[in-house]
Amino acid sequence: MFARNQKVVYPGHGVAVISCVIEKKIAGRSLQFFELRFLNKDMTILVPTDNASAVGIRPLSSAEYINEIFKLLAQPVIAKQLDAAVSNWNKRNKEYQGKLRSGNLLELCAIYRDLRHIEVNKELSFGEKSLLQQTESLLIEEIAIVTKVEVADAAKQLKDLVGYKIRQCGESSSLLR
């Protein structure tokens, strides 16, 4: 499954290293836990080894998968699909939070791309800005580690890619006009 010193992604929080496997007695039962130390946060958590998959912990993406992500981000947003969802932030936020908790990199990219597209057409609310910042941070962190580039370079690459796509389709979109 996972090994000591392996880098993994914890949904919604980012990349962590499995620093060790700890055994603890809880309610008279012996349980094993992964101790996760986050790379870009001063935070350590324990996750039961039996529950790691259910929590959504996953290995880092491959470089090939990151390239697939870039292809997804380069695709224009389908404005018709987004038009219906834009009007109800609460409904969209609930959907986005579910995607965020899944830890799926494709889902994170979809949230990021949608919010960047909406941002071109209207000012984002506080909640939308916060979610955009969170997804951007999670994407940049994993991209930088997997592609072995500096965080600033990964951020520029992500923003340039999405920025180009937004300029391409932002002009003709009827979203919120």
Q: What is the CATH number of the domain that holds 145?
A: 1.20.58.1290
pLDDT bucket at 175, cuts 50 / 70 / 90: very low
Do 112 and 83 share a domain, yes or no? yes
Query: What phi and psi values does residue 6 have, to the nearest 5 degrees?
Result: -80, 140
Last residue of a domain, one of 59, 77, 97: 59
Residue 36 contacts residue 49 (beta carbons within 8 Å): no
pLDDT in tens, 100-137: 988 889 999 989 988 888 888 788 889 899 999 999 99
Confidence of residue 87 (pLDDT cuts 50, 70, 90): low
Residue 176 counted as domain residue: no
For 99, the domain range is 63-170
Q: What is the pLDDT of residue 82?
A: 54
- For 16-73, the pLDDT digits (tens) are 999 999 999 989 999 999 999 999 899 999 999 999 988 999 999 999 999 988 888 8
37 and 18 housed in the same domain: yes
Query: Residue 143 and residue 114: Cα distance in Å, rounded?
Result: 19
Inside any domain, residue 139: yes
Identify whether the C-beta of residue 34 lies closer than 8 Å to the C-beta of residue 25: no
Same domain, 156 and 78: yes
Same domain, yes or no, for 113 and 32?
no
pLDDT of 172 strictly over 70: no
More confident residue, 79 or 152: 152
More confident residue, 78 or 82: 78
Of the candidates 14, 57, 31, the residue with the CA atom closest to the CA atom of residue 145: 14
In terms of pLDDT, which residue wins out, 15 or 103?
15
